[in-house]
Structure 1
Amino acid sequence: MKENREIPAPAHPDKRREALPWQCPKANEEDAQAFQRVQAILDSPSYRRADADIDFLAEDDLRGVRLQIDYLKPELLLREHDIRQTIVVFGSTRICEPAAALRKVQALRKLLSADADNNDLKRKLGVAERILAKSHYYEVAREFGRLVGANPRAHEHRTSIVTGGGPGMMEAANRGTFDVGAKSVGLNISLPHEQYPNPYVTPELCFSFHYFALRKLHFLMRAKALVAFPGGYGTLDELFEVLTLIQTRKIKPIPVVLVGEAYWRRAVDIDFLVDEGVIDAEDRELFWFAETAEEIWSDILRWYEASGEPLQRAP
C-alpha cells in the first residue's frame, strides 16, 4: 500500500466551488421569458415546502398532523425543562386582584351617582360588587403559588404550578410562583378574539394551543392535584372532566380541592345529584373544600400520605 497518499480536503458542508445546473437560472439569451416563468413557479402555492405552507397545514385533511404538533411542541419543551409533576390551578378569569376590583366598583358608583335611574349601571355595579367580594381569592391563589414555588419538596420533585395562562385566578397562581422565583407553566388557548397570557408565566413554559382537547390532555398528563377556585363555564368544564375521569378510573385518583365552599355549594349541588341517584355517595368523596392557601397545600400533602403514595418524583 502506497504511504503518504494525498486525499482531498473535506467538502464544504453548504457551498460548492462550481454551481450545479439547477442552481443557475436559464439564461435570457436562450429564452427571454424563462425567468418570468420560473418566478411564476416559485410564487405558486404548490411549490411551497409542505412544512412551511401555513395554508396547506390549515386544511381539514391535515387535522391529524395539527393534533400531533399541538401535542408535541409543549411535550418536548416540558421535558426539556424537566417539568415532571404539576399542580393544576383553575378559576375565573374575571376575579381580579382586590385593588382592581375596588376601582371598578368605585368607577361604577360614580357613574350611577350621576344617572341614578340607569338600570344597566345598577346591574353592572351589583356584579362588580360581587366580584369585589370574591377578590380575596386572588390573594389565596397567589399565596398558594408562593407555597408551592418555595416548598423544598416541590423543588426536589420537579413540581410546578400549571394554569391556563390567563388573567384572574390563573394569573394569581402564576404570580405567586413568580414572587418566589420559581417556574410555572401556562397552557393558553387561541380564540377568535384577541387575548394575552398573564405576565407571570415563565416565558419558555407558556404555550398557545389550537385544540382544547390537547390542552386538557397536557393539564392532566403530569397532574398531581387539581385546585379549582370559583369560576364559570371553563372552570366547570375542566373540573367535571377531571371528576369524570377519576370516577370512571380512566386516571388514577388525585386530590381535587374546591376553594370557597360557600360558592361551590351554591354553584353545584352534589348532594342533590346523590339524592337523585345519578351519582353514588362515594362520588361525593372525590373532592373536598378549602378556604386558605395553607389548607390547600397541607391537605394535598396529607392526601398523599394517607394514600400510601407520597408526593414524589415521577419516574
Structure 2
Amino acid sequence: MSKEHYENEDDKILEGLKQKPWSEIRSNDSWVIFKVMSEFVNGFESMARIGPCVSIFGSARTKSSDKYYQLAERIAEKISKAGYGVITGGGPGIMEAGNKGAAKGMSPSVGLNIELPFEQHFNPYIDQDKNLNFDYFFVRKVMFVKYSQGFVVMPGGFGTLDEMFEAITLIQTKKIAKFPIILVGTEFWGGLMDWIKTVLIEKYFNASPEDLKLIKLVDTEDEVLEVIDTFYKKYNLSPNF
C-alpha cells in the first residue's frame, strides 16, 4: 500500500506493523539509500557555493499581520544587508518572512523545502536557483546545520523546537562549532529558558550552567545583528562581501 492510498491513520499504522517478505524489505530499503544519497549530493553541491549564512527558524503558521512575522522580516533584511545569507525552511509563515527580508538585501535567500501533508509550500521570495526540495527531514536538517554560521530562532512549534535543540545538542557535544543561537522574543521564550535553568540544570543537573551560555535571548533586529557581528569579529571572519 503506497502512502497516497492510506485512507486514515489506522491504515498507515497497520501497514507499518504488517509482516513483509525479507526480499521486499531489502529491495525497498536499498532503493531508499540511493534516494537519500541523491538528496545529500544535491544539497552539498548546491549549498557549498553559497557562502556564510544564518538560519532562521520559526512557525509556518504565523500570519503576515503578526508582529513576529514582521520582526523576522526586519531581522532577515538587516542580516542580508550586512552580507550574511539567509536560510529558511522555504515555506510560509516565519520562513516566508525570512526569505522576504533577505530578498530586500544583497545576500542569498535560500529555502530548504520539504513536502508535508499540511501547511508547507515554498514561498516566492527564495532565490530561483536556491530553492532546494527534500523528502527526508534528517537530510534537510544536515543542510541547515552544516551550512549555517548562526541560528535565529523565532517563535514556533514542535518543528522549531526540534531544530533549535538539534543545534544546541550538536554544539554542546562539540560536533559542530560554537555558532551563536539567538532566541527572539522574551515573552515567548522566557518561560522555556527559566525551566531550563531552574529545573533542567539546578534541580535535576541534566545540563551544565555553561550550556546556557550557548543561547542568547533578544527582542530586536539590532540585538540579533550585534550578536552575529560580535561572533564574526571575535574570529576575524567576514560575511559574503
State the TM-score, normalizing by the size of structure 1: 0.63
Match of 2:62 in 1: 95
Match of 2:139 in 1: 214
Q: 1:235 to 1:249 in 2, by over 3 A?
A: same
Give how far 1:67 is off.
1.1
Give how far 1:193 is off.
4.5
Tell me if 1:67 matches 2:36: yes
Match of 2:79 in 1: 148
Tell me if 1:287 matches 2:212: no
CA contact (8 A) 2:152 2:182 kept: yes
Q: Gaps spanning 5+ residues in structure 2: where?
A: 1-26
Give how far 1:313 is off.
5.9
Give how far 1:190 is off.
1.7
| Counterpart Cα distance in 2 of 1:145 and 1:298 | 13
Q: 1:177 to 1:310 in 2, by over 3 A?
A: same
- Where 1:278 maps in the other structure, the secondary structure is coil
Tell me if 1:203 matches 2:128: yes
4+ residue runs over 3 A deviation: 192-195
Give how far 1:179 is off.
2.3
| Counterpart Cα distance in 2 of 1:284 and 1:193 | 34
CA contact (8 A) 1:301 1:311 kept: no
- Where 1:59 maps in the other structure, the secondary structure is helix
Tell me if 1:162 matches 2:87: yes
Match of 2:237 in 1: 311
Q: What's the % identity of the aligned pairs?
A: 34
* Aligned ranges 1:122-133 → 2 under 5 Å: none
1:194-248 superposed Cα distances (whole Å, 9 cap, x missing partner): 7420111112111110111110110011211000001110000000011011111
RMSD, aligned α-carbons: 1.9
CA contact (8 A) 1:257 1:288 kept: yes
Give how far 1:180 is off.
3.2
Tell me if 1:83 matches 2:10: no
Match of 1:138 in 2: 69
| Counterpart Cα distance in 2 of 1:62 and 1:70 | 13
Write the letter of the residue equivalent to 1:253.
Answer: K
| Counterpart Cα distance in 1 of 2:60 and 2:119 | 15
- Number of equivalenced pairs: 211
| Counterpart Cα distance in 1 of 2:115 and 2:29 | 18
Q: 1:220 to 1:59 in 2, by over 3 A?
A: same
| Counterpart Cα distance in 2 of 1:232 and 1:241 | 14
Match of 1:231 in 2: 156
| Counterpart Cα distance in 2 of 1:299 and 1:313 | 14
Q: Gaps spanning 5+ residues in structure 1: where?
A: 1-57, 99-134
Give how far 1:181 is off.
5.3
CA contact (8 A) 1:301 1:310 kept: no
Write the letter of the residue equivalent to 2:80.
Answer: G
Q: Which structure's CA Rg is the greater one?
A: 1
State the TM-score, normalizing by the size of structure 2: 0.82
